[in-house]
């Protein structure tokens, strides 16, 4: 990349001394820009993946609205640097799109999920939704139909009809389960059409490493990675976190006996989440939280099988059956979550009742 040309396009302060890769993100390319002067901030430079985020103007407009609203709530959030033309992104001569935000000093991300970090994540992402619950300016859909289960089922059905590699017959057992449970798993879209489930402003990529912590005190600072913030139903933030964080193994582990659902992580995350969303969630949304935990491994299994049937063009694969192993893994996780449905429902109701009798901020973190 032409570092000088790209950096000159933005209104940054100080003299740039070094540009080096930062983090291990799978979508955008990220770099740390260090400045020489002690008083000048350092920066985070990102090349936006325009094959995924095709409407950069809408993407950045969403982020600007969200960060401005969060600052209006008196909370810390990312600050993006304008270009000399007043935008928050720059398109270089090769067509690459770049943006720059201020680097948050003394910040770090975490990857380990335990009871404490799960509670912190539940509280943080729930509070993120709560802050944006009165956002008046509408956001665009940066990835249309991202968590739309009806759409994902129709994608799979179309792949089965086409069946270019004659793979559908070999996975008929999985297809039967998907069709058996499709109506129940697609109830979110149906309830929304009936006016019973409202759209929320959701993060849509709820992972522990999308939170910043103070590396000196361990305190939570802010939610980051705002590219997927968009309107969605409540389950986008709740179910997505539990799909990865509460599984006992990685999503492509072919040994299905390793796949179990961690109730301790479910309880820690749910407790923090309900404490934050209790003031604006409807009783139906609380009632459907266990279903949301079931939905996401089901949805991801459908998507992996769709990719397998069509020839593995969507996700990178290490071997021909990689997406099939992923699909079977997630289907087993779905079945494991369903086994705990009644226990999860009781716990959610207990948390909701308790949180409505006590302040949002508790000493729960220390008790976990």
- Residue pLDDT, tens place only, 306-361: 999 999 777 778 899 999 999 999 999 999 999 999 999 999 999 999 877 544 43
Residue 48, strand partner residues: 97
Dihedral sign, CA of 278, 343, 208, 285?
Answer: negative
Q: How confident is the model at residue 156 (pLDDT cuts 50, 70, 90)?
A: very high
Contact present, 80 and 74 (Cβ < 8 Å)? no
- Report the relative pairing of strands 200-202 and 97-102 from DSSP bridges: unpaired
pLDDT tens digit string along 255-296?
999 999 999 999 999 999 999 999 999 999 999 999 999 999
At 314 the pLDDT is: 73
**Distance from C-alpha of 307 to C-alpha of 315, rounded to nearest angstrom:** 8
The H-or-E segment that residue 20 falls in is strand 16-21
Q: Is the pLDDT of residue 362 over 70?
A: no
The H-or-E segment that residue 212 falls in is strand 211-214
Q: Is the pTM of this model over 0.85?
A: yes
**Which range, of 16-30, 158-172, 259-273, averages the lowest pLDDT?**
16-30
Q: The domain at 3-105 falls in which architecture?
A: 2-Layer Sandwich (3.30)
At 24 the pLDDT is: 65
Q: Is the pLDDT of residue 71 over 70?
A: yes
**Distance from C-alpha of 184 to C-alpha of 199, rounded to nearest angstrom:** 19
At 363 the pLDDT is: 38
Q: How confident is the model at residue 29 (pLDDT cuts 50, 70, 90)?
A: confident
At 52 the pLDDT is: 85
Q: How confident is the model at residue 32 (pLDDT cuts 50, 70, 90)?
A: very high
> Does residue 332 sit in helix, strand or coil?
helix
**Distance from C-alpha of 16 to C-alpha of 18, rounded to nearest angstrom:** 6
Contact present, 35 and 16 (Cβ < 8 Å)? yes
Q: How confident is the model at residue 26 (pLDDT cuts 50, 70, 90)?
A: low
Between residues 226 and 368, which one has the greater pLDDT?
A: 226
Contact present, 87 and 61 (Cβ < 8 Å)? no
Fold of 115-367: Aminoglycoside 3'-phosphotransferase; Chain: A, domain 2 (3.90.1200)
If you average pLDDT over every residue of the chain, what do you get? 92
**Distance from C-alpha of 333 to C-alpha of 322, rounded to nearest angstrom:** 17
| Domain ranges across the chain | 3-105, 115-367
Contact present, 345 and 290 (Cβ < 8 Å)? yes
> Does residue 209 sit in helix, strand or coil?
helix
Contact present, 289 and 344 (Cβ < 8 Å)? yes
Q: Is the pLDDT of residue 1 over 90?
A: no
């Amino acid at each position: 990349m032409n570092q000088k040309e790209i950096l000159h396009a933005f209104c940054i302060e100080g003299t740039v001394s070094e540009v080096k890769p930062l983090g291990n993100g799978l979508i955008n390319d990220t770099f740390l820009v260090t400045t020489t002067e002690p008083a000048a901030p350092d920066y985070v430079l990102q090349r936006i993946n325009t094959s995924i985020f095709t409407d950069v103007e809408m993407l950045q407009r969403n982020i600007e609205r969200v960060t401005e609203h969060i600052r209006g709530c008196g909370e810390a959030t990312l600050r993006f640097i304008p270009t000399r033309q007043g935008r928050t992104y720059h398109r270089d001569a090769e067509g690459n799109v770049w943006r720059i935000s201020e680097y948050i000093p003394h910040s770090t991300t975490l990857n380990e999920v335990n009871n404490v970090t799960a509670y912190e994540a539940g509280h943080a992402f729930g509070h993120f939704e709560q802050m944006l619950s009165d956002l008046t300016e509408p956001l665009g859909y940066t990835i249309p139909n991202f968590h739309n289960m009806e759409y994902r089922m129709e994608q799979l059905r179309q792949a089965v009809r086409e069946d270019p590699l004659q793979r559908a017959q070999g996975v008929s057992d999985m297809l039967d389960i998907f069709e058996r449970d499709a109506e129940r798993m697609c109830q979110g879209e149906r309830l929304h059409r009936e006016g019973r489930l409202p759209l929320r402003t959701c993060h849509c990529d709820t992972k522990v490493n999308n939170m910043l912590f103070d590396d000196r005190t361990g305190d939570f600072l802010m939610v980051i990675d705002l590219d997927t913030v968009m309107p969605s139903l409540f389950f986008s933030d709740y179910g997505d976190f539990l799909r990865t964080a509460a599984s006992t193994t990685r999503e492509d582990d072919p040994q299905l006996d390793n796949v179990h659902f961690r109730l301790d992580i479910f309880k820690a995350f749910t407790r923090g989440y309900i404490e934050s969303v209790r003031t604006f969630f409807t009783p139906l949304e609380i009632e459907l939280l266990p279903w949301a935990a079931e939905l996401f491994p089901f949805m991801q299994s459908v998507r992996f099988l769709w990719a397998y049937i069509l020839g593995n063009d969507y996700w990178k694969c290490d071997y021909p059956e990689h997406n099939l192993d992923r699909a079977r893994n997630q289907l087993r996780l779905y079945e494991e979550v369903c086994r705990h449905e009644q226990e999860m429902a009781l716990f959610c109701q207990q948390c909701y009742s308790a949180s409505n009798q006590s302040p949002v901020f508790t000493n729960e973190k220390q008790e976990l």
